[in-house]
Amino acid sequence: MTEAALKKENAAIAREYKELLKISYRTLSAADKKLIRKAFDVAVDGHKNQRRKSGEAYIFHPISVAKIVASEIGLDATSIAAALLHDVVEDSPDYSINDIEQLFGETVARLVNGLTKISSLKKDKDISLQAENFRKMLLTLNDDVRVIIIKIADRLHNMQTIQSLREDKQVKIASETLYIYAPLAHKIGLYNIKSELEDLALKYTEPEVYFSILNKLQESKEEQDAYIEEFSRILDSALKKEKIKYDIKGRPKSIFSIRRKMQRQGVSFEEVYDKFAVRIIYKSGLKNEKFLAWKIYSIVTDYFRPNPTRLRDWISSPKSTGYEALHITVMGPKGRWVEVQIRSERMNEIAEKGYAAHYKYKEGDTENDDTLENWIGKLQEVMDNPAASAVDFVEEFKLNLYAKEIFVFTPNGDLKSLPKEATPLDFAFSIHTEIGLKTRGAKVNGKLVPLNHKLQSGDQVSIMTSDNAKPTSNWLDYATTARALSKIRSSLKEEKKGIAEDGKEILRRKLKQLKITLNERSVNELVNYFNLKTSLDLFYRVGIGSIDNSMLKKYAASRSNVLVSFIKNKITRKKNSTSESINNEEITSKYDSLVFGKDEDKLNYKISVCCNPIPGDKVFGFLSIKDGIKVHKKDCPNALSLQSNYAYRIISAKWIDSSQQVFKAVLKITGIDEKGLVNDITKLISTSMNVNIKSIKFDSNSGTFNGEVAVEVNNNSSVSKLMERLKKINGIEKVSRV
């Protein structure tokens, strides 16, 4: 690097540092600035010989993370210092955690220690290293929530600069982001960051979809701005007449949320009716906030007809993240539905900055529960179960992250927040673990209900307990929250372990009578013989008597033939494998085929039933333990989990020579029921398009119909053409692929 270029880079680093001090959400004291300067100097020294993949000096990354922490999240000087230092210990041999503690004190050192990446993890083919990483990361919540918040800022900047990485790395990091970091940002109340993470992740997991929606949003921006101006003009005089100081802003919905609506509702971009929201932000003291919110609601609904099913009152009952607002959907100008969000300036800051703003406004307020601490406490209980696998843990943890909330009452009239679809069992475990474990029955609004009864907002729930009650395996079907499921599983496992210990001794005695020693070899043989997964399953079944004397005698009799059978099976499998390989080569030479990896190898594979890909679909291969390579669509419901947790098992795949082989596709058709419509549909498919119909089913109800047609097609483009032609038939409203 030339001296001039180095001088220019140093000047840019200095500018970034000054910008960091300027944009801080909180007022920085002289001591704060001194702490941040000291952290900046150590970070510059620690990263002096490092560069990122893009070629720029590494120090720009911690500065950018610190800027997000300071401005967009609004954390304090301690957090800004920790953000500047978050990679120093891992990346520089000159600094240890002890050095950081001596230089900056215990709090900064604890944050940096929590933020230091996990460099060595147990190598186990059956355990997702990334899921284990997530679990260890989440465990730091108990130490200090700022660790997770800074980690989210770190991930945001990595996503903003991901373009310099290889494509497979981009997909892996973007999948992790959608899988865990965006939901975490949502739960902590960082809504702006959550939306940006989701959009950036979609940009790299489904780039065609992302840019298609982005372009359409940009094309409609001028029209949207004019619409918001018209909406504001209608309300302006009425709001000013009431002497309400306010600001009206319009914002487009995030690209990711529009994509999600398109998928859930099976509609096109043009058919998504609420692509943007209008936000009314008003000035108010704490005392009059609620009164003014409903006053603005009254004014808005005087001019625009509200949709009564779309009112969301998060002022009377704030979300568990601390989010407060009134949301209403009204019929705006030109007959278009518009979502209107009514927030005070305080509510708006909490929505954008999360808990940093929550604490700023909460100083001196002791009435409200500290919802974040409550959430962390509940989360810690789930994480304390060491028996759960890393992947199960992450999946359970995610159950509650995006769940919509309901509010129910305890017998004493206290309000409890639970996820939608929660049951009395979930309620019982949310009160206390012991109450959950001893649940005998439940009453909702004074009436006895089953334990799988779905609770509704406003229900009053009472739990009946008994010392003799204990969880059964059925409870796993009744509970929905991660906390309840974790505690039930833990209890069942403890009971199973006790039975298994007795079963092991019973097995030892019975095998001794058959002149067989209970050791690792005989246990493995028995596990395979009875087609079980683990030795615990074996001992448990012996303990409950489902494996009895006669079954063990049959095992003993067949034992001498096990080796011979094993060799024969190996030979047979090899022959079958060779035969399958030859057959596969014959098929792929004549019909469509999949190729894998950079070298485009032809390998044996199975089509995954969860998404049923056909030629033309974008796909990837997943190396499963039992079934070899399984092929999934890129937008398969399980894709994010697989790519995030098991990236090392993902194989790139693509279709080639798509021309001859036929595949099944199922189309869902809805519309207005008219005479001869089914005939028009079948005629178009079989005659005009020359496509074979495998099955057809139509149900009509009060003038409308729903139908499903299974057809045989060559590839994805054939399906697309067929769907476009079907949409043109008079009476058909919507056509989508199942």
Count other C-beta atoms under 10 Å from residue 669's C-beta: 24
Q: CA geometry: angle at 570 spanning 565 and 529, to 5°?
A: 45
Q: How confident is the model at residue 367 (pLDDT cuts 50, 70, 90)?
A: very low
Q: Which residues contact 283 (CB under 8 A, 6 or more apart)?
A: 245, 246, 344, 345
Three-state DSSP at 10 gives: helix
Statement: residue 560 has pLDDT above 60: no
- Mean pLDDT score across all residues of the chain: 81
Nearest to 234 by CA among 340, 356, 130, 313: 340
Rounded CA-CA distance 208/259 in Å is 12
Tokens 């505690």 locate to 487
Q: Using one digit for the tens of pLDDT, what is the confidence trace for 457-480? A: 888 899 999 988 889 888 988 898
User: For 596, how many CA atoms within 13 A lie in the half-sphere containing its CB?
Assistant: 16
pLDDT at position 365: 47
- Mean pLDDT value of segment 560-570: 51
Q: Which residues contact 564 (CB under 8 A, 6 or more apart)?
A: none
Most confident of the following: 21-25, 64-68, 379-383, 705-709: 64-68
Rounded CA-CA distance 553/282 in Å is 80
By the 8 A CB rule, do 157 and 64 touch?
A: yes
Lowest-confidence segment of 187-201, 478-492, 709-723 by average pLDDT: 709-723
Q: How confident is the model at residue 376 (pLDDT cuts 50, 70, 90)?
A: low
Statement: residue 53 has pLDDT above 90: no
Q: How confident is the model at residue 68 (pLDDT cuts 50, 70, 90)?
A: very high
Q: Which helix (H) or strand (E) segment is 343 a member of?
A: strand 337-344
pLDDT at position 700: 80
Q: Using one digit for the tens of pLDDT, what is the confidence trace for 210-255? A: 999 999 988 888 888 888 888 888 988 889 888 899 998 888 889 9
**Domains along the chain with CATH numbers:** 3-213 (1.10.3210.10), 219-362 (3.30.460.10), 371-490 (3.10.20.30), 493-559 (no CATH), 591-656 (no CATH), 663-737 (3.30.70.260)
Q: Is 229 a catalytic residue?
A: no
Count other C-beta atoms under 10 Å from residue 212's C-beta: 14
Q: Which residues contact 708 (CB under 8 A, 6 or more apart)?
A: 666, 667, 668, 669, 695, 696, 697, 738
Q: Which residues contact 207 (CB under 8 A, 6 or more apart)?
A: none
- Mean pLDDT value of segment 491-502: 87
By the 8 A CB rule, do 70 and 20 touch?
A: yes
- From 9, 16, 56, 90, active-site residue: 90
What are the distances in angstroms from CA 80 to CA 29, 200, 506? Answer: 13, 24, 61
- Token pair in block for residue 676: 């001869």
Instruction: Compute and round to an integer the Cα radius of gyration of the chain.
Output: 30
pLDDT at position 591: 37
Q: Which long-range contacts (CB under 8 A, 24 or more apart) does 269-273 make?
A: 269/212, 269/213, 269/216, 273/336, 273/337
- From 91, 313, 673, 708, active-site residue: 91
pLDDT at position 16: 92
Rounded CA-CA distance 180/172 in Å is 12
Statement: residue 265 has pLDDT above 90: no
Q: Is 91 a catalytic residue?
A: yes
Listed in order, strand segments (DSSP E) in 140-187 are: none
What are the distances in angstroms from CA 465 to CA 415, 493, 527? Answer: 21, 21, 39
| Single-letter amino acid code for the residue at 731 | G
Q: How confident is the model at residue 624 (pLDDT cuts 50, 70, 90)?
A: confident
Rounded CA-CA distance 663/669 in Å is 19
Q: Using one digit for the tens of pLDDT, what is the confidence trace for 381-396? A: 545 554 455 565 565 5
By the 8 A CB rule, do 207 and 165 touch?
A: no
Q: CA geometry: angle at 494 spanning 489 and 498, to 5°?
A: 145
Beta-bridge partners for 461: 444
Q: Distance of alpha carbon 588 from its chain centroid, rounded?
A: 37
What are the distances in angstroms from CA 372 to CA 143, 222, 324? Answer: 13, 40, 15
Rounded CA-CA distance 634/178 in Å is 14
Output phi, psi for 416, to 5 deg.
-120, 135
By the 8 A CB rule, do 179 and 155 touch?
A: no
pLDDT at position 223: 85
By the 8 A CB rule, do 390 and 492 touch?
A: no
Statement: residue 415 has pLDDT above 50: yes
Nearest to 202 by CA among 152, 114, 131, 262: 262
- The rounded percent of the chain whose pLDDT value lies above 90 is 23
Three-state DSSP at 127 gives: coil
Q: Using one digit for the tens of pLDDT, what is the confidence trace for 627-673? A: 788 999 988 888 888 887 788 788 888 887 645 556 778 889 988 87
* pLDDT, greater one: 561 or 100: 100
Rounded CA-CA distance 519/294 in Å is 73
pLDDT at position 362: 56
pLDDT at position 588: 38
Statement: residue 121 has pLDDT above 80: no
Rounded CA-CA distance 116/138 in Å is 13
Give burial (CB, 10 Å; 0-12/13-18/19+) of 412.
exposed
Rounded CA-CA distance 574/296 in Å is 75
- Token pair in block for residue 430: 């949310």
- Mean pLDDT value of segment 533-551: 86
Rounded CA-CA distance 677/700 in Å is 11
Q: How far apart are the first and last CA of the chain?
A: 56
Q: Distance of alpha carbon 352 from its chain centroid, rounded?
A: 20
Rounded CA-CA distance 108/586 in Å is 64
By the 8 A CB rule, do 694 and 631 touch?
A: no
pLDDT at position 438: 93
pLDDT at position 356: 64
Statement: residue 593 has pLDDT above 90: no
Nearest to 372 by CA among 657, 144, 546: 144
| Single-letter amino acid code for the residue at 303 | Y
Q: How confident is the model at residue 341 (pLDDT cuts 50, 70, 90)?
A: very high
- Token pair in block for residue 500: 């298994």
Rounded CA-CA distance 665/738 in Å is 8
pLDDT at position 272: 81
